[in-house]
Amino acid sequence: MARRFLAAWDGLQQLWAVSPDFDLEAETLQAFTDITGRDLLRTREAMAEVIRGI
């Protein structure tokens, strides 16, 4: 999963470099969801709750 995400990230950065109007943030969030099957922002919130001991 990590290799797939890093490959996607590398490709997305290249697209952004040649097309500055490319929405890197939205595409990165979508790539994470596509690869993991999870919403990045919800995953981040859940991890923060675990770390805080909630």
Residues 6+ apart with CB under 8 A from 12: 22, 24, 27, 28, 31
Residue type, 51: I
- Whole-model pTM: value is 0.72
Give the pLDDT of residue 3. Answer: 95
Quick: pLDDT tens for 3-54.
Answer: 999 999 999 999 999 998 999 999 998 999 999 888 888 888 888 888 998 6
**Count of structural domains, the chain:** 1
Give the pLDDT of residue 16. Answer: 95
Q: How far is CA 35 from the centre of its chain?
A: 9
Enter the tokens of residue 13: 């950065």
DSSP state of 41: H
Residues spanned by the domain of 40 = 2-52
Residue 26 CA to residue 43 CA, distance in Å, equals: 16
